[in-house]
Structure 1
Amino acid sequence: MTLQDACQSFLSHCRSAVSLSEHTLRAYTFDLEDFQNHAQHETNLSLLNKDDLRKFIRHLREERKLKEITIKRRIACLKLLFRWVQQENMISINPFDNLNERIRLPKRLPRALGSEEIKLLTGAINLEATDKEFQEFVTGIATKLLLTTGIRVGELVKIDIEDLVLPDCSLKIQGKGNRQRLVYLFEPKLNQAIARYLTIRLTRATETKKLFITEAGIPFTTQKTRILLGDLASKAGIERRITPHMLRHTTATQLLEAGLDIRYVQKLLGHQSISTTEIYTHVTDHGLRTALKRTYRD
């Protein structure tokens, strides 16, 4: 079997059996195409070895000068490919088994909004908007929901109307790997705004069951959400670029600083491993360290 055929079979498996998101499938397709271009599409899959992988890593690092985090993603995708083809008995030896290559990532704390930025952003959210201010209204609700629950932007755009149970203050989220979880909405103003939005939404010509729609009745996409959030942040007077993922980091950091048990934060964010959530404890420690330094310096 050729490398190209193996990649196509693997992507078909990911699309049908694993049900990965379109965003992840696009990333996998791009990463695998990159390796095929380097190793030749028609190369026999069984002839590929650890030296070919080393050459690819050197090519990415030394010739193309890609960042380590990009290289790590490429290699992670290839690991999944070769693990799958070995499980499917397409190869007998996995070239990754004896590969001793370490890709070191620089330690970087998640970017979260500062207290002043949070005030500016929340101050720009209009939860009292009218029917004539539909886009402003729905943008405010979506932003407030991201900031209150810490859900991912990809999870936000997948919310159906039936996922929302306002009397119970709960919202069902379809997370990564089709794992479902509940988040809770205990802020009265947000709940009231959502209830009013659902009434206004009935006046819009749309057939979608998705909760968030544009003025034209088109479901929110991740890109549209990023644009609307960026416009809102700019309107609020925030100079740097604000992304939905920064709101997620902000939520996690605030909850831990407020004393919420890390296991609850893990469950709220939908992290499969608590080690992923633990990075936010470093953020809060970093914030404490910075604040103390500033205090004693002043």
Structure 2
Amino acid sequence: MNWNSILKDFKKFLSFERNLSKNSSLAYINDVTKIKVYCEDNNIALDKLTTKDFQNFLVWINEFNISPYSQARIISGLKSFFNFLQLEYNFENNPAALIETPRLNRKIPDVLNVAEIDNLISAIDLSHAEGPRNKAMLEALYGCGLRVSELIGLKISNLHLEVEFIKIEGKGNKERLIPIGNQAIKYLKIYLDEVRPKLPIKNGSEDFVFLNRRGAPLTRVMVFIIIKDLAAKIGLKKKISPHTFRHSFASHLVEGGADLRAVQDMLGHESITTTEIYTHIDKDYLQSIITQYHPRS
């Protein structure tokens, strides 16, 4: 059985039938590649792989100090892979069918308070050409709860600022509409009207909102660097990333009394349970206050 052919077919299946994004498809393929290496090293034919073999594979990947979250993702991905083999290749057995995905405690994400976000954004130097862009970028990141991939992929044609909405192409190419506030609109307009037209825009980049000085779309790494530099500039000790703004967006909405379903829709979460993590953040903060200040704690 040819692994390369199977991987190509699985990749097509993920893209065309599951409609997954390029990054999601690549994650699945990387997980399947791990079991491919294991099978080849142990001379096990894919169609002969047993549940015991699969358990031994899990022991093997555990030796590489892969985190429990990554292990759970790998198991989930391989379950999909073996379901695909049964569907497309008429495999009789599914060695992962009886393997349970471990239940993991959800880690409460780190968030910034409003003052910290204001300090970060205020630290942007507007005298440089990148300043108005960075201000518009962080206002959109925090004001709309975007993922970094959604931010750098934001299109001018998807901005509907006159009705205070933007359209986002999220995970799995799923589209959603998100309200956008006055602050983000204000600084987006300044950037789009006064700064961006002066850039030497590269072919194919005409519709991207956020561009570097060479007229190409910003990269994920560049957004990380911008935020890290601002944190260092104001002496912020918290370890933050672009996703911290997304967590802060959701946390502040929930703490302010926003409906959880509405927050779920704005974040683009498939399951409400993913959004529910933000209901625990305020409780965690209160617990930390008791621990810090109560004489009996």
Q: 1:204 aligns with which of 199, 220, 224?
A: 199
Alignment correspondent of 1:120:
119
Task: Report the CA distance between 1:136 and its aligned residue.
Answer: 2.2
Contact kept in structure 2, 1:123 and 1:236, CA below 8 Å: no
Task: Report the CA distance between 1:47 and its aligned residue.
Answer: 0.9
Report the residue type matching 2:266 in the other structure: L
Q: TM-score, normalised by structure 2?
A: 0.89
Contact kept in structure 1, 2:72 and 2:101, CA below 8 Å: no
Where does the alignment leave 5 or more consecutive residues of structure 2 unmatched?
none
**Share of identical aligned residues, percent?**
30
Tell me, yes or no, if structure 1 residue 139 matches structure 2 residue 134. yes
Cα separation, partners in 2 of 1:52 and 1:77, compared to 1, 3 Å = same
Q: TM-score, normalised by structure 1?
A: 0.89
Aligned Cα root-mean-square deviation (Å): 2.3
Tell me, yes or no, if structure 1 residue 23 matches structure 2 residue 23. yes
Report the residue type matching 2:249 in the other structure: T
Where does the alignment leave 5 or more consecutive residues of structure 1 unmatched?
none
Alignment correspondent of 1:65:
65
Deviates more, 1:42-51 or 1:250-259: 42-51
SS of the counterpart of 2:129? Answer: helix
Task: Report the CA distance between 1:184 and its aligned residue.
Answer: 1.4
Q: 1:162 aligns with which of 157, 165, 170?
A: 157
Report the residue type matching 2:78 in the other structure: L
Q: Which deviations, in whole Å up to 9, do the C-alpha atoms of 1:134-181 show, x marking residues without a partner?
A: 212212211121111111111111111010011111110111122211
Deviates more, 1:4-13 or 1:255-264: 4-13
Contact kept in structure 2, 1:48 and 1:95, CA below 8 Å: yes
Q: 1:179 aligns with which of 174, 177, 183?
A: 174
Task: Report the CA distance between 1:297 and its aligned residue.
Answer: 4.5
Task: Report the CA distance between 1:3 and its aligned residue.
Answer: 4.0
For residues 291 and 118 of structure 1, the distance between their equivalents in structure 2, rounded to whole angstroms, comes to 21
For residues 290 and 239 of structure 1, the distance between their equivalents in structure 2, rounded to whole angstroms, comes to 17
Task: Report the CA distance between 1:278 and its aligned residue.
Answer: 0.6
Cα separation, partners in 2 of 1:19 and 1:227, compared to 1, 3 Å = farther
Contact kept in structure 2, 1:205 and 1:217, CA below 8 Å: yes
Alignment correspondent of 1:251:
249
Cα separation, partners in 2 of 1:241 and 1:287, compared to 1, 3 Å = closer
For residues 259 and 105 of structure 2, the distance between their equivalents in structure 1, rounded to whole angstroms, comes to 28
Cα separation, partners in 2 of 1:117 and 1:282, compared to 1, 3 Å = same
Q: 1:277 aligns with which of 268, 275, 278?
A: 275
For residues 103 and 98 of structure 2, the distance between their equivalents in structure 1, rounded to whole angstroms, comes to 18
Contact kept in structure 2, 1:138 and 1:212, CA below 8 Å: yes
For residues 84 and 3 of structure 1, the distance between their equivalents in structure 2, rounded to whole angstroms, comes to 14
Q: 1:192 aligns with which of 179, 186, 197?
A: 186
For residues 48 and 140 of structure 2, the distance between their equivalents in structure 1, rounded to whole angstroms, comes to 51
Contact kept in structure 2, 1:214 and 1:220, CA below 8 Å: yes
Q: Which deviations, in whole Å up to 9, do the C-alpha atoms of 1:65-123 show, x marking residues without a partner?
A: 32211211221211111111212243122222233x45343542112124553343133
SS of the counterpart of 1:183? Answer: strand
Tell me, yes or no, if structure 1 residue 8 matches structure 2 residue 8. yes
Task: Report the CA distance between 1:259 and its aligned residue.
Answer: 0.8
Aligned residues: 291
